[in-house]
């Protein structure tokens, strides 16, 4: 008999009080449907096939949700993976008008290799309140819990920010834990933080999961620094806002062609976006179902 996939871990729901109970339940069903759909391919090594199953299941479930949704963030465009497309309409058309940010499978490689951290996520906010980062696929991010509010600033150096946060948290610098994506572009950042005496928690994938951890007191992750996907950044902003945490972001093209495209689209590459600019409403619903 073929081995059975493990049961789903509990779904996290933040901001349920902001939306009708039937809509919240429908969004929960959508993340759980996406997570369940790809479970048979966990550990298969085929990340795109797992992602495709999750996308189809989430799309079908959200099509029945009692709202008028428009996808602002459909993760997948930057790596040509399966995705719910930006501008796609979701729901029955009856109910709250919402911006929708989705990642049916955040951490596709983690799922394909059966490593911890893959999740299915959806965020809702009132229509027009999510920043649309079209044409820019990467963002520099600085994320922490509420202790970072009024303390941290992307324009400061990583060590300056870490020192400020340690002071705000009332802990020694050598006890501060900073989450960083394990990418070649972050080698110097990780070395700089370690040389200053703090602990670096490297993650191969999972921008959204590590952002949630940084904004959640007692998670073991005090902050997130570095550059990750812009679509995941907006989803993370929804989670961080609903959790009462701190976040700033700055567009960070990774090549000259990306830079030229971003400038042509009218983006100011020097602008630091506050959390309230990434998602301008506090009426956010964030739902996350773990896959691995």
Does 195 show up as a binding residue in the annotation?
A: no
Does 79 show up as a binding residue in the annotation?
A: no
Does 51 show up as a binding residue in the annotation?
A: yes
Does 232 show up as a binding residue in the annotation?
A: yes
Phi first, then psi, for residue 229 (nearest 5°) are -65, 140
Does 46 show up as a binding residue in the annotation?
A: no
Phi first, then psi, for residue 290 (nearest 5°) are -65, 145
DSSP code of residue 45: S
Q: How far apart are CA 36 and CA 25, in angstroms?
A: 16
Helix 187-195 and helix 158-169, axial crossing angle in degrees, nearest 10: 50
Give the contacts of 232 (CB within 8 A, at least 6 positions apart): 75, 103, 106, 207, 208, 211
CA angle 24, 134, 209 (to 5 degrees): 45
Q: Which positions make up the binding site for Mn(2+)?
A: 51, 75, 103, 106, 232
Q: Which positions make up the binding site?
A: 51, 75, 103, 106, 232
């Amino acid at each position: 008999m073929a081995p059975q996939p493990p049961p789903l871990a509990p779904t996290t729901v933040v901001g349920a009080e902001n939306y009708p109970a039937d809509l919240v339940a429908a969004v929960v069903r959508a993340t759980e449907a996406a997570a369940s759909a790809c479970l048979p391919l966990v550990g298969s090594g085929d990340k795109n096939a797992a992602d495709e199953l999750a996308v189809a299941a989430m799309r079908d479930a959200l099509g029945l949700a009692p709202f008028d949704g428009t996808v602002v963030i459909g993760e997948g465009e930057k790596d040509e993976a399966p995705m719910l497309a930006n501008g796609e309409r979701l729901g029955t058309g009856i109910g709250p008008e919402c911006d929708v940010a989705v990642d049916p499978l955040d951490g596709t490689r983690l799922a394909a290799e059966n490593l911890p951290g893959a999740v299915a996520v959806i965020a809702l906010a009132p229509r027009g309140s999510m920043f649309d980062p079209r044409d820019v696929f990467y963002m520099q991010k600085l994320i922490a819990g509420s202790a970072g509010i009024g303390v941290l600033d992307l324009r400061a150096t990583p060590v300056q920010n870490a020192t400020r946060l340690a002071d705000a948290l009332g802990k020694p610098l050598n006890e501060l834990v900073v989450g960083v994506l394990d990418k070649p572009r972050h080698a110097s950042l990780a070395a700089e933080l370690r040389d200053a005496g703090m602990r670096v928690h490297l993650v191969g994938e999972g921008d959204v999961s590590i952002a949630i951890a940084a904004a959640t007191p007692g998670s073991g992750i005090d902050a997130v620094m570095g550059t990750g996907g812009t679509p995941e950044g907006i989803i993370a902003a929804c989670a961080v806002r609903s959790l009462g945490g701190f976040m700033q972001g700055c567009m960070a093209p990774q090549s000259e062609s990306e830079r030229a495209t971003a400038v042509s689209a009218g983006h100011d590459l020097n602008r630091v976006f506050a959390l309230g600019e990434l998602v301008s409403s506090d009426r956010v619903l964030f739902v996350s179902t773990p896959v691995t």
